[in-house]
Amino acid sequence: MKREVLGRCPVCDQELNVTRLSCSHCHTNIEGVFSLCKFCKLSEEQKHFTEVFIKNRGNIKEIEKELGISYPTVRNKLEDVISALGYNPKYTKPKVDRKEVLEKLSRGEISSQEAVKLLKGEE
């Protein structure tokens, strides 16, 4: 049974290198230090998301349905994959401090509608 090449070390999560390639037909072996493709370095979850994204041709609504996740979660997963591939995502949504929003709500500093907007990231 053939297994997929690991892209990251299971101990320290650093990038792994391939040091030997073998041909199962002619039994040629090549040794050296070879880097893996960018996609090999993705986590299993990132690979699955990428596969679903491509299968659905980037249609966010279809991705939401298939994975059972919301639009912001799809965007976050996409940004995560973009970063993992070594690119700087153009869209970076500021993180919402949920605890702070809820504390402001409990102190009466903001309305429940404002809290909902902040938690949804609508500001």
The 10s digit of each residue's pLDDT in 77-106 is: 999 999 989 888 676 556 777 888 888 889
Tell me what the mean pLDDT of segment 30-46 comes to.
Answer: 89
Tell me the pLDDT band of 46, cut-offs 50, 70 and 90.
Answer: very high
Tell me the pLDDT band of 4, cut-offs 50, 70 and 90.
Answer: confident
Could you tell me which residue, 94 or 32, shows the higher pLDDT? 32
- Exposure string for 62-72, b = 16+ CB within 10 A, e = fewer: ebeeebeeeee
Would you say the C-alpha torsion 95, 97, 102, 105 has a positive or negative sign? negative
Q: Return the number of other C-beta atoms located less than 10 Å from residue 53's C-beta.
A: 20
Q: Are strands 29-34 and 18-22 parallel, antiparallel or unpaired?
A: antiparallel
User: What distance in Å separates the CA atoms of residue 50 and residue 13, rounded to the nearest whole number?
Assistant: 20
What pLDDT score was predicted for residue 97? Answer: 79
What is the percent of the chain with per-residue pLDDT over 70, rounded to a whole number? 93
Cβ neighbours for 70, distance < 8 A, ≥ 6 positions apart: 64
Tell me what the mean pLDDT of segment 66-73 comes to.
Answer: 92
Would you say the C-alpha torsion 81, 85, 89, 93 has a positive or negative sign? positive
Residue 59 has pLDDT above 60, yes or no: yes
Domains of the chain, residue spans: 1-39, 42-84, 94-123
Residue 61 has pLDDT above 80, yes or no: yes
Q: Which amino acid is at 112?
A: S
What is the percent of the chain with per-residue pLDDT over 90, rounded to a whole number? 42
Q: What is the pTM of this model?
A: 0.58
What pLDDT score was predicted for residue 93? Answer: 59
